[in-house]
Amino acid sequence: MLSFFKDYKYFAIVLGILSVIIISIFYNILKVEKVLPIYQPASVNAELVDSTIQYKKKYHKIADFSLTNQNGKTITQEDYKDKIYVADFFFTTCQTICPLMTDNMVIIQKAILDDDDVMLLSHSVTPEIDSVAQLKRYAIKKGVNDTKWNLVTGDKKQIYALARKSYLAVKEDGDGGPFDMVHTENFMLIDKKQQIRGFYDGTKLEDINLLLEDIKTLKKEYK
């Protein structure tokens, strides 16, 4: 009788070990890693999309650009080649949402400071006011790291076209004229293929935390 229970004890131990192994295997098979969506004009709120591209269901990318940063350097898509980056639209004289957005972008800058794969890009929507000198003063005031974060100015129509036709960032219609204003709280997460992978409210700290987590998720795609 004792021998029977002794044998049963060993059987139970072996069975328990096998059960743990089997459960672990099934867990790893069934565990699905989070994958960020790739946003297309046809898959976002139609109000955010220029009517000329609302039908587009695939292959949407950020258009090529040529703008000037706070140091007077020409910044193009080549400066963001093979980089993940966060983009937004702001202006230095804004007294409403922009200061909070910039403060939250500073939080992101601090988090990605030592990460060579990630950069930041802020477009002025009042380039007639935000000269290179004005952007430089603002950058110094806010603690912008020139190696990680470009504040850019340039042709207003180009900036507004980027906002509406590339980043799908704003609801307003217009052509970048003198009385036309892009004013959006959106932060956009852009991958290494210049595709939009996320939209976030740049005024909300919970969205900033989500954005930082999504950057980690996105980085896994390139391992």
Number of Cβ atoms within 10 Å of the Cβ of 184: 21
pLDDT tens per residue, range 142-151: 999 999 999 9
Once rounded to an integer, what is the mean pLDDT over residues 10-38? 60
Q: Where are the domains of the chain?
A: 1-31, 41-220
User: Largest Cα–Cα distance in the chain?
Assistant: 96
**Residue 158 contacts residue 124 (beta carbons within 8 Å):** no
pLDDT tens per residue, range 105-159: 999 999 999 999 999 999 999 999 999 999 999 999 999 999 999 999 999 999 9
**Residue 88 contacts residue 188 (beta carbons within 8 Å):** yes
Query: Regarding the domain with residue range 41-220, which homologous superfamily does it belong to in the CATH classification?
Result: Glutaredoxin (3.40.30.10)
